[in-house]
């Protein structure tokens, strides 16, 4: 079985790789590869043999070629599927046994649980669980318990749980996902930072291509089109905004994701049929699209630390987002943008009107947003810090966690819930 997985290498192992430390990055779905390119390139430049593992998909091959790293496809279901999960776990276990990495970083719930458990059983000397957000925030009942259990198992099997933002770390601690000494936040948060040269103010061809007049106001959104991202709230508010601002356009940069929180077919049809809503589909380079916006709105229900907010801020536009986990760390209220409660189209309506009708305030926020990102979230600064931290872990290898200690930690967090 492992041999069949290894034959899915997208790039070949370099001959000189035996002299370099090996790091494996593992995620569940290939679309998450979109945010990994800079991270992979940084570790490759730092002298690692870099391997990325995810379910098969075009994004996996694309990031492998872009970052110049190896990639291995291992099917991992995003849904609860015990038999499929067992098969994925065996594949990951055998794969790690063959690769013998010095360090692993697994993220996203399913890959996090299966990958860190497999790495622990294979005795990988340094295991990191990258906590990018908590899917369980927007679910209830038995499914929430399953997701919380997966987070706790992933964390128990890791030496370090690296949190994407301060609010995410606080929530993880409150939920008993891991003890405080294992939950780590690097710098000001963010797993990537942002390329402030690529994402910057300037002219763009986007309005002309989409048929949007130069002088009309445009609010934008960048990300997956799902319920948890607040697309339904944004659509409702846009309908009401159109009555007050009939020239207003809505630019939706992203795709309709077929996830468990997918939009209904009825809402999707209404979005696609509206004459002043522009849906781009997947876009490899979103930088020109931010420049076509007067502001970005991300009415999300949960985040880890949203890259889109940093990209918009670096592009010199204010952001309206919610006070939920993660997104509240990415906006300085009344300075770089506005924060509103999640789930309130009325709050989106009021906030957008405030900024649309005060161009001086909007531009002042945009300038402040770019300066704030340049100071705190420059991509080079964030990723250099991350690489240095990982190197320090290798130089001072975390103490091996015995099966008994892992079991004790899992028992303690479950008993405390």
Domain boundaries, the chain: 2-190+380-416, 206-376
Which pLDDT value is given to residue 407? 56
Measure the CA–CA gap between 33 and 30, rounded to whole angstroms.
5
Query: Would you say residue 18 has pLDDT above 80?
Result: no
Instruction: Name the residue with tokens 């709050």.
Output: 347
Average pLDDT value for residue range 188-193: 92
The top-level CATH class assigned to 2-190+380-416 is alpha beta
Cα(323)–Cα(402) distance, integer angstroms = 39
**pLDDT tens for residues 332-377?**
999 999 999 999 999 999 999 999 999 999 999 999 999 999 999 9
Half-sphere exposure in the Cβ direction for 169 (13 Å, CA):
20
CA-only gyration radius of the chain, Å? 22
Task: Report phi then psi at 372, rounded to 5.
Answer: -65, -45
Q: Residue 81: what pLDDT?
A: 84
* Chain center to CA of 332: 20
CA dist., res. 244 & res. 107, Å (int):
43
Q: Is the dihedral of CA 339, 341, 343, 347 positive or negative?
A: negative
Chain segment 244-300, per-residue pLDDT in tens: 999 999 999 999 988 888 999 999 999 999 999 999 999 989 999 999 999 999 999
| Separation between Cα atoms, residue 149 and residue 413, nearest integer Å | 9
d(CA 190, CA 284): 20
Predicted TM-score of the model (pTM): 0.89
Instruction: Report the distance separating Cα 185 and Cα 389, nearest Å.
Output: 11
What is the predicted pLDDT for the residue at 416? 52
Fold identical between 2-190+380-416 and 206-376?
Answer: yes
Residue 284: predicted pLDDT = 87
Measured CA to CA, the distance from residue 26 to residue 162 in angstroms comes to: 14
In CATH, what number does 206-376 get?
A: 3.40.50.2000
Q: From the DSSP assignment, how many helices (H) and strands (E) are in the chain? A: 16, 13
């Amino acid at each position: 079985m492992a041999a069949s997985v290894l034959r899915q290498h997208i790039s070949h192992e370099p001959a000189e790789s035996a002299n370099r430390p090996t790091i494996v990055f593992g995620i569940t779905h290939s679309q998450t590869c979109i945010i990994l390119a800079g991270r992979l390139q940084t570790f490759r430049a730092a002298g690692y043999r870099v391997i990325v593992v995810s379910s098969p998909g075009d994004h996996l091959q694309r990031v492998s070629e872009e970052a110049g790293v190896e990639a291995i496809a291992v099917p991992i279901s995003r849904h609860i599927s015990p038999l499929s999960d067992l098969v994925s776990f065996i594949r990951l276990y055998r794969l790690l046994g063959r690769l013998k990495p010095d360090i692993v970083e697994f993220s996203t719930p399913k890959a996090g649980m299966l990958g860190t458990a497999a790495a622990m059983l294979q005795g990988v000397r340094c295991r990191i669980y990258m906590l990018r957000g908590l899917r369980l925030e927007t679910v209830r009942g038995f499914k929430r318990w399953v997701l919380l259990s997966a987070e706790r198992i992933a964390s128990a099997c890791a030496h370090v749980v690296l949190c994407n933002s301060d609010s995410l770390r606080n929530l993880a601690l409150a939920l008993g996902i891991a003890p405080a000494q294992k939950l780590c936040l690097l710098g000001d948060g963010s797993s990537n930072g942002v390329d402030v040269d690529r994402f910057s103010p300037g002219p763009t061809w986007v309005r002309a291509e989409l048929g949007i007049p130069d002088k009309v106001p445009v609010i934008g959104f960048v990300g997956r089109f799902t319920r948890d991202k607040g697309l339904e709230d944004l659509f409702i508010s846009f309908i009401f905004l159109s009555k007050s601002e009939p020239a207003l356009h809505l630019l939706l940069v992203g795709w309709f994701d077929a996830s468990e929180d997918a939009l209904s077919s009825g809402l999707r049809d209404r979005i696609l049929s509206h004459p002043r809503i522009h849906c781009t589909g997947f876009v490899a380079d979103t930088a020109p699209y931010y420049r076509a916006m007067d502001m970005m709105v991300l009415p999300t229900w949960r985040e880890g630390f949203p890259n889109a907010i940093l990209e918009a801020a670096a592009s010199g536009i204010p952001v309206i987002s919610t006070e939920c986990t993660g997104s509240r760390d990415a906006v300085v209220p009344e300075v770089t943008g506005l924060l509103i409660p999640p789930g309130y189209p009325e709050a989106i309506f009021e906030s957008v009107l405030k900024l649309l009708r005060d161009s001086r305030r909007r531009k002042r926020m945009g300038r402040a947003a770019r300066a704030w990102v340049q100071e705190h979230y420059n991509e080079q600064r964030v990723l250099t810090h991350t690489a240095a931290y990982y190197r320090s872990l290798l130089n001072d290898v975390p103490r091996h966690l015995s099966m008994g200690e892992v079991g004790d930690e899992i028992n303690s967090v479950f008993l405390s819930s």
